[in-house]
Amino acid sequence: MWINREYELAALEERWNNNKAEFIVIYGRRRIGKSELIEKFIKGKRGVRLLAREESETLQLQRFSKKLALLFRDALLEKNPLASWDAFFELIAEKAKERLVIALDEFPYLCKENPALPSIIQDYWDNRLKETKIFLILSGSSVSMMEKKVLRHKSPLYGRRSAQFLLRPFTFRDVFLYLGMPIEEAIETYSVFGGTPAYVIEFEKKKDLFWNIKSKIFRDDSFLYRDIEFLLREGLKEPRYYFSVLSSVAKGNTKISDIINDTGLKKSIVGKYLSILSELYLVRREVPITENPLRSRKGIYILYDNYFKFWFRYVYPNKEEIERRMAGYLIENTVKPSFSRFVSFTFEDVCREALSSTTFAMAKIGRWWDRGSEIDIVGLNENEKSILFAECEWSKNVDARQVLADLRKKAEMVDWNIGKRTEYYAVFAKSFKKKFKEKDVFLFDLNDLERIFRKKKE
pLDDT single digits (tens) 329-364: 999 999 999 999 999 999 999 999 999 877 666 789
In-domain check, residue 345: no
Q: Which of 135, 166, 197 is the last residue of a domain?
A: 166
Q: Buried (b) or exposed (e) across 60-87, using 16+ Cβ within 10 A?
A: bbebbbeebbebbeeeebeeebbeebee
Question: Residue 128 has what pLDDT?
Answer: 95
Mean per-residue pLDDT for 273-288? 91
Contact 288, 368 (CB under 8 A): yes
Q: Does 368 map to a domain?
A: yes
Q: 177 with 277, same domain?
A: yes
178 pLDDT band, cuts 50/70/90, is: very high
Triad 212, 217, 222: Cα angle to 5°:
110
Residue 360 shares a structural domain with residue 326: no
Same domain, 157 and 11: yes
* 300/284 Cα distance (integer angstroms): 8
Is 378 inside any structural domain? Answer: yes
Task: Please tell me the distance from the alpha carbon of residue 69 to that of residue 351, in angstroms, as a whole number.
Answer: 51
Confidence category of residue 147, pLDDT binned at 50, 70, 90: confident
**Dihedral of CA 436/437/442/444: which sign?**
positive
Within a domain: 392: yes
Residue 180 and residue 151 share a domain: no
Question: Would you say residue 267 lies in a domain?
Answer: yes
- Residue 152's pLDDT band, with cuts at 50, 70 and 90, is confident
Tell me, what CATH number does 38's domain have?
Answer: 3.40.50.300
Q: 3-state class of 443 per DSSP?
A: strand
3-state secondary structure of 255: coil
Structural domain boundaries, residue 215: 172-339
Counting the structural domains of the chain, the total is: 3
Q: Which residue has the higher pLDDT, 315 or 2?
A: 315
Q: Angle 110-115-117 (CA atoms, 0-180°, nearest 5)?
A: 65
Whether 189 and 295 map to the same domain: the answer is yes
Instruction: Examine the domain organization and report whether 119 and 196 are in the same domain.
Output: no
Position 274 pLDDT exceeds 90? yes
C-alpha–C-alpha distance, residues 282 and 309, integer Å: 10
For the chain, the straight-line distance linking the first and the last C-alpha, in angstroms and rounded, comes to: 24
**What integer best gives the mean pLDDT of the chain?**
93
Whether residue 306 sits in one domain with residue 436: no
Confidence category of residue 429, pLDDT binned at 50, 70, 90: very high
Residue 180 lies in a domain: yes
**Alpha helices (runs of H) in 180-324, residue ranges in sequence order:** 183-193, 197-200, 209-212, 223-235, 239-250, 256-263, 267-279, 306-310, 319-323
- Choosing from 116, 132, 166, the residue where a domain stops is 166
12 with 122, same domain?
Answer: yes
3 state DSSP class of 361: coil
Between CA 53 and CA 106 the distance in angstroms is 8
Q: Last residue of some domain: 139, 166, 193?
A: 166
CB 347 within 8 A of CB 428: yes
- Dihedral sign for Cα 152, 155, 157, 158, please: positive
Same domain, 100 and 17: yes
Q: What are phi and psi of 395, to 5 degrees?
A: -150, 165
**CA atoms of 96 and 135, how far apart (whole Å):** 9
Please check whether residues 440 and 320 belong to one and the same domain: no
Is residue 147 one of the residues assigned to a domain? yes
User: Are 176 and 319 in the same domain?
Assistant: yes
pLDDT higher than 90, residue 456: no
137 and 285 fall within a common domain: no
What CATH number corresponds to the domain at position 190?
Answer: 1.10.10.10
CATH code, domain carrying 367: 3.40.1350
**Top mean-pLDDT range of 163-172, 361-370, 400-409:** 400-409
Dihedral sign of CA atoms 32, 37, 40, 42 in order: negative
Is 149 domain-assigned? yes
CA angle 33, 38, 42 (to 5 degrees): 150
